[in-house]
A and B are shown apart, each in its own frame.
Chain A
């Protein structure tokens, strides 16, 4: 893949459920190695859009490319190049930390040697080496979240999709989690992250703000604050989303 090609490229992507248009003609590009924040209130269509990019859901209309592959016809190719962390730190509770990691590494076709190498390095980085034989259901939620991130990235994907990775976690753990994201990004991984914590938006290279299925704003956080002449992303979001009819 050429270096100047975007990691993700989406044009007029639309998803309808019956009469309800969850995602309405959204278009955007995400550059390689970028941390792209996908903001929006609950029900704005973030998860639906992300599921289409990951090949979990078919678009009603529009095009998209992820890692250079078409999201409709080449989703099997996409799957080999992405990592995905879903909303609920999903892992297998009855398996140990290391067993979970081994499972996901083998699903992505890593051999034993590269798994051993990657897992010992990553567990050490996260200071989780002592925990590797604990059952996942027994470890605290902050660790589960880190582990879920580890499982999603153990095969060094080009792009990792994080769906509200910090939901229900305390601010300190959230901050630590973002350090992981920075680390991955500095290693060249593209990070596509949905969140509704607006302080986290500040950590992203660029953010898009989704309101009722549309992308109403898309730029670097600093540029957005300047455009709306406010001092925080929270205020930007309130201005952009003030006409929302869907959120509560």
Chain B
């Protein structure tokens, strides 16, 4: 026990005295979370719209009135047909709404700048909504469940957490174990009476504790600053995250048994584990939109399952029995990875 204690103390001192890493480790999750939660938003606001009206009627006046009060739209006024094209070209407006009245019937046309498809799609949808509210067409009622304000923070938080834990656990653990190999201190531990299992354990415990601290910080930010709905599923969220943390630690351990330099450990962790997490976990790009091959590939990315389960627990507020599939997949992945890593961590060659 005293060996275990002094080794853990050593590891903790090493982690805490390395100020730079420490600051990055604790600050990065907070920054990423705030960045994605506030700054990087997939919502489209402030769509610039001009209208071209051939004859003003009560109906057109009402439509224009609605444009000018809509919070998502900045109404730039009425212009004539010849100027509309110019306004689109110069980027003064994102969309032009043409309102034409013939024989007492209003026909409308939306011309939209699609150089940014996201903006184009969103503004078309807004404008359609505003116009269709006016005439006789019965309005379609849309109800957005789980995220009524369509906040993008809701979408990003689970993904960011999936990324952060891989980053911290996999990269930091592998780098720290490999640095002991590089410095030769690993040999000192292995020729000592300390058991190889203990050597691994003391490497993992400090990073596990660090990860749990980060989990707490991220949950606090999510529930306060980002105003995610605080639900009764918080225990499940923590439980799921702890499974994922252990899985990420196993990845780090596995990487450290395969590579021999800190640089390689960093590159392997970053390229082999980080990029797929960003690209294939569904954090940014929806998995259903991917080519089938990539969809299969995404199945072996642990973050995909974690993100999916976290969405269900944190955003949809579902009970734990709705995420049993994800949990069992994550658990079996953890088991397999740990098994591989411990097998590869053969101390005598």
Residues of chain A at the chain B interface (Cβ within 8 Å): 54-58, 75-76, 79-80, 82, 84, 86-88, 90-95, 99, 102-104, 106-109, 135, 151-152, 161
CB distance A84 to B188 under 8 Å?
yes
B10–chain A nearest beta-carbon distance, Å: 5
Of the candidates B10, B17, B190, the one whose C-beta lies within 8 Å of that of A103 is B10
The stretch from B1-9, B78-86, B162-170 touching chain A is B1-9
CB distance B185 to A91 under 8 Å?
yes
> Across the interface, which residues of B come within 8 angstroms of A80, CB to CB?
193
Q: Beyond A86-B188, A92-B185, A95-B13: 4 further Cβ-contacts under 8 Å? A: A55-B191, A56-B187, A56-B190, A106-B2
CB distance B183 to A90 under 8 Å?
yes
> Across the interface, which residues of A come within 8 angstroms of B183, CB to CB?
88, 90, 93
> Across the interface, which residues of B come within 8 angstroms of A55, CB to CB?
191, 348
Of the candidates B7, B14, B188, B349, the one whose C-beta lies within 8 Å of that of A57 is B349
CB distance A86 to B193 under 8 Å?
no
Q: 7 A-B contacts, Cβ less than 8 Å apart?
A: A55-B191, A76-B193, A95-B14, A106-B3, A107-B3, A107-B6, A135-B17
Asked if B324 CB lies within 8 Å of chain A CBs, one says: no
> With A and B bound together, what is the CA distance between A91 and B183 in angstroms?
8
> Across the interface, which residues of B come within 8 angstroms of A84, CB to CB?
187-188, 191-192
CB distance A56 to B188 under 8 Å?
no
Assuming the contacts A91-B185, A103-B7, asked whether A109 and B193 have C-beta atoms less than 8 A apart, the reply is yes
> With A and B bound together, what is the CA distance between A104 and B21 in angstroms?
25
3 nearest CB pairs, A to B: A90-B184, A86-B184, A106-B6
> Across the interface, which residues of A come within 8 angstroms of B192, CB to CB?
79, 84, 104, 107-108
> Across the interface, which residues of B come within 8 angstroms of A106, CB to CB?
2-3, 6
Q: In the complex, which residues 299-349 of chain B have their Cβ closer than 8 Å to any Cβ of chain A?
A: 347-349
A199–chain B nearest beta-carbon distance, Å: 25
Q: How large is the interface on B (under 10, 10 to 19, 20 to 34, 35 or more residues)?
A: 20 to 34
CB distance B3 to A82 under 8 Å?
no
CB distance B191 to A109 under 8 Å?
no
Assuming the contacts A56-B187, A56-B190, A86-B184, asked whether A75 and B348 have C-beta atoms less than 8 A apart, the reply is yes
B184–chain A nearest beta-carbon distance, Å: 3
CB distance B187 to A90 under 8 Å?
yes
Assuming the contacts A94-B14, A95-B10, A103-B10, asked whether A108 and B193 have C-beta atoms less than 8 A apart, the reply is yes
> Across the interface, which residues of A come within 8 angstroms of B190, CB to CB?
56
> Across the interface, which residues of A come within 8 angstroms of B58, CB to CB?
none
> Across the interface, which residues of A come within 8 angstroms of B13, CB to CB?
94-95, 99
> Across the interface, which residues of B come within 8 angstroms of A103, CB to CB?
6-7, 10
Residue of B nearest to A135 (CB): B17
> With A and B bound together, what is the CA distance between A106 and B192 in angstroms?
11
> Across the interface, which residues of B come within 8 angstroms of A95, CB to CB?
10, 13-14
